[in-house]
Amino acid sequence: MNKILVIFLLPLFVFSQNIKGKITDANQQPIEGASVYLDGTTIGTVSDAKGLFEITSKNKYNTLLIVKYLGYEDIYVSNPYEKEFFTFVLVPKQNEIETVLVVKDGFTRKQKLQLFREQFLGLTKYGKACKILNEDAIDFNYDLKTFIFTASCSEPINVENPLLGYLIDFDLKDFYVKFNFKTIKSSNVVKSLFLGTAKYTENSIDEKIKKNRNDVYFGSAVDFFKGIIDNSWSEKKIILFKGKFSVNPNDYFKVLKKEDLYEVTVTSTNKVSLSINGVKKTNFYADFNLLYRKKRQSQVIFKTETFFVDSFGNNSHKDQIIFGGDIGQQKAGNTLPLDFEPELVLEKKN
């Protein structure tokens, strides 16, 4: 019995979006060579000799506009489409002498690097294939009182992802790994989190890499959120479970279109009651199990009742929506640019 693979590009609404502006210093002198890009995408440019820049994309993305130039403070714009023309004045960074406190915690730098790679890049085949090109720039700390491992880096972490064909410049804002006792093994991790901004550059592409990108996209968190806003659960082969029983997603997710974003409201009977300084506070909490293609199992916990998703499945409140299982294992090594356009592969049997 033969199988025919038919590949279609997913339909996208195409609207040209231009972001223009000028970058100067405090003396109104134009700055040439400043990097301007949309966070988490391959979309960006550099300013010219007059300090001018222009970014053109065919869609709007729910992400930041970032301006970076060596020796100056970074600029972040939460809504890149709020103005027709931006004027940015860069401020020099203060010369701060970094003090590295060396504390004997019983672990070697080699062990710490291994833990960082596993929790930042992931243990999937894509994460393991990645290479950090500037590991010497990363600093680590292990708090022996709280069993919390943290990492920081004074420059963007340069990651080469050969299986997906990208170079990633990741500006790490927060990274921690929580244990319940003194250990540094990923198998004993209770909780981990990393946050930051990223710039993607495509450095290679072939049919194998295209297949790998599709493999990473389908069944991912982005694919899950795309299913919520499109109500395309069956097409995406994702089944939603409440406990052990499959449920209708429409009973738990209410979607409202708001301009270029979708507002998603989660309904659940779960509430977590806490008493803080004698004041009783009830926090929102909802959890579900996911099954993709009847074999890849994940869990998702919502600590927010409302969040927003753009038309590509990129969500807000990332620190309040937590994944476990298959999706939880997909870390930086499994990420794709926000502007990635998947190809839908349909299988037909003869």
- Would residue 304 count as lying in a domain? yes
Last residue of a domain, one of 36, 54, 89: 89
Last residue of a domain, one of 26, 55, 89: 89
Q: What percent of the chain has pLDDT over 90?
A: 69
User: Do residues 153 and 66 both lie within one domain?
Assistant: no
Q: What percent of the chain has pLDDT over 70?
A: 87
User: Do residues 208 and 77 both lie within one domain?
Assistant: no
What does the alpha-carbon distance between residue 112 and residue 150 come to, in Å, rounded to a whole number? 10
- Would residue 148 count as lying in a domain? yes
Q: Which residues touch 162 (CB under 8 Å, ≥6 apart)?
A: 129, 130, 131, 204
User: Do residues 131 and 268 both lie within one domain?
Assistant: no
User: Do residues 56 and 196 both lie within one domain?
Assistant: no
User: Do residues 124 and 254 both lie within one domain?
Assistant: no
What does the alpha-carbon distance between residue 308 and residue 334 come to, in Å, rounded to a whole number? 22
What pTM did the predictor assign? 0.82
Is the predicted pLDDT of residue 209 greater than 50, yes or no? yes
pLDDT confidence of 2, banded at 50, 70, 90?
very low
| Structure confidence at residue 348 (pLDDT) | 42
- Would residue 95 count as lying in a domain? no
Q: Which domain holds residue 38?
A: 17-89
- Would residue 34 count as lying in a domain? yes
- Would residue 173 count as lying in a domain? yes
User: Do residues 205 and 284 both lie within one domain?
Assistant: no
User: Do residues 151 and 163 both lie within one domain?
Assistant: yes
Average pLDDT in the 23-30 region? Answer: 96
Q: Residues 139-164: pLDDT tens digits?
A: 999 999 999 999 999 999 999 999 99
User: Do residues 47 and 135 both lie within one domain?
Assistant: no
User: Do residues 57 and 158 both lie within one domain?
Assistant: no
Average pLDDT in the 114-143 region? Answer: 97
Domain count, the chain: 3
| Structure confidence at residue 316 (pLDDT) | 86
Question: Which residues face 106 on adjacent strands?
Answer: none
| Structure confidence at residue 92 (pLDDT) | 94
Classify burial at 110, counting beta carbons within 10 Å of its beta carbon; exposed 0-12, middle 13-18, buried 19 or more. exposed
Q: Residues 30-72: pLDDT tens digits?
A: 999 999 999 999 999 999 999 999 999 888 888 899 999 999 9
User: Do residues 214 and 112 both lie within one domain?
Assistant: yes
What does the alpha-carbon distance between residue 263 and residue 271 come to, in Å, rounded to a whole number? 21
Average pLDDT in the 180-209 region? Answer: 94
User: Do residues 241 and 321 both lie within one domain?
Assistant: yes
| Structure confidence at residue 279 (pLDDT) | 52
- Would residue 312 count as lying in a domain? yes
What CATH number is given to the structural domain containing 82?
A: 2.60.40.4130
- Would residue 195 count as lying in a domain? yes
Q: Residues 245-277: pLDDT tens digits?
A: 999 999 999 999 988 789 999 987 665 554 445
| Structure confidence at residue 13 (pLDDT) | 40
Estimate to the nearest angstrom the gap between the alpha carbon of 160 and the chain centroid. Answer: 16
- Would residue 9 count as lying in a domain? no
| Structure confidence at residue 6 (pLDDT) | 36
User: Do residues 210 and 229 both lie within one domain?
Assistant: no
